Amino acid sequence: MEGVNTRKNSGGASAVAGATGGAPPRSGSGAAKRQGTTRRTSSSGSASERRDHLVKLAAELFARKGFQATTVRQIADEAGILSGSLYHHFDSKETIVDEVLSTFLTDLIGRYKTALEQEGDPRAVLSEMVRIGFSTLEPHRAAITVMQNDWNYLRSLPGDRFDYLIRAEDEVERMWVEQIKRGQAEGLFRADVDPKLTYRMIRDTIWVAVRWFRPGGRLNTAGLAEHYVTVLFDGLATGERTSHKA
């Protein structure tokens, strides 16, 4: 996806696939070929699962301790392996957090694009985008927490490795702002509110919720989203509108 996964990544999925794919099977009996294929598939699947497990463990550590404070040794200790073994899967902890964040942003932007392709009215589209945002709080909790806590540090690292964070942020902002402006043009939204400021207030409400939302509470993420949509479009006050320009 443009703006999210366009950089080189020596520790990325393609590198792992290349390392675990193995050589073509030698000629021989059909049974031998099938047996060899089974072994390679099982080995590849096991390596992939092990790698995914390491990413999840590391993501939880990054979210809990902070990316800067988390060491490769701590990740390895959490996984019950030696530090050197971790380098069989990743060349650095930056590669791991890279995968955590890019996976989240790819999922988020892809789902936003799907909502936009439905071509509903702006209120329906924005409501769906709110639901999408809140629905990521559980599956991508660690990634969202890292983005909240370590955004400035990651952007300050040398090179352009994390420039995609800005590109993704700009793309998401454009999607939201365009829908708000479209709603204003169609008379569905108030014309006296600033589209960019409105988007940023919505954005911050959704992502900051990762700090206090806990699964199993009175509201799940779907209920949380519906409550927010109600407040967003129907407001809090009753009767005549009392807001005015300063």
The secondary structure of 203-223, three-state, reads: HHHHHHHHHCCCCCCCCCHHH
Q: How does pLDDT run across 104-135, given as a tens digit for each residue?
A: 999 999 999 999 999 899 999 999 999 999 99
Q: How does pLDDT run across 169-206, given as a tens digit for each residue?
A: 999 999 999 999 999 999 999 999 999 999 999 999 99
- pLDDT exceeds 60 at position 2: no
Indicate if 100 and 64 belong to the same structural domain. no
Angle of helix 13-20 relative to helix 30-65, nearest 10 degrees?
150
Under 8 Å between Cβ of 122 and 180: yes
Indicate if 47 and 75 belong to the same structural domain. yes
Least confident of 34-48, 95-109, 131-145: 34-48
Longest Cα–Cα distance in the chain: 84
- pLDDT exceeds 80 at position 245: no
End-to-end distance of the chain based on CA atoms, in angstroms?
A: 43
| Token pair of 202 as six digits | 């919505």
Under 8 Å between Cβ of 15 and 92: no
Indicate if 72 and 149 belong to the same structural domain. no
Residue 21 included in any domain: no
- pLDDT exceeds 50 at position 209: yes
Residue 224 included in any domain: yes
**Residue where the block lists tokens 């996984």:** 79
Residue 74 lies in domain:
27-86
Indicate if 52 and 165 belong to the same structural domain. no
Indicate if 132 and 213 belong to the same structural domain. yes
Q: Going by C-beta distance under 8 Å and a sequence separation of 6 or more, which residues neighbour residue 147?
A: 101, 104, 165, 207
Indicate if 36 and 67 belong to the same structural domain. yes
Residue 3 included in any domain: no
> What burial class does residue 226 get, using C-beta atoms within 10 Å of its C-beta: 0-12 exposed, 13-18 middle, 19+ buried?
middle
Q: How many domains does the chain have?
A: 2
- pLDDT exceeds 60 at position 143: yes
Indicate if 160 and 190 belong to the same structural domain. yes
Indicate if 70 and 116 belong to the same structural domain. no
Residue 16 included in any domain: no
Q: How confident is the model at residue 240 (pLDDT cuts 50, 70, 90)?
A: low
Chain length of the chain: 246
Residue 12 included in any domain: no
Last residue of a domain, one of 37, 63, 86: 86
Which H/E stretch holds residue 183? helix 163-185
Last residue of a domain, one of 86, 121, 155: 86
Under 8 Å between Cβ of 16 and 48: yes
Indicate if 127 and 224 belong to the same structural domain. yes
Using CA atoms, how far apart are residues 67 and 131, in angstroms rounded to an integer? 28
Under 8 Å between Cβ of 137 and 101: no
Q: How does the average pLDDT of the chain come out, rounded? A: 83
Indicate if 167 and 204 belong to the same structural domain. yes
Which of these, 91, 98, 96, 140, lies nearest to 6 by C-alpha position?
Answer: 98
Indicate if 64 and 116 belong to the same structural domain. no
Last residue of a domain, one of 86, 120, 153: 86
Residue 19 included in any domain: no
Residue 13 included in any domain: no
Secondary structure class of 172 (helix, strand, coil): helix
% of the chain exceeding 70 in pLDDT: 78
Most confident of the following: 45-59, 182-196, 231-245: 182-196
Would you state the pLDDT for residue 217?
A: 85
Would you state the pLDDT for residue 177?
A: 98
Indicate if 68 and 103 belong to the same structural domain. no
Q: How does pLDDT run across 84-108, given as a tens digit for each residue?
A: 889 989 999 999 999 999 999 999 9
| Token pair of 130 as six digits | 């709110």
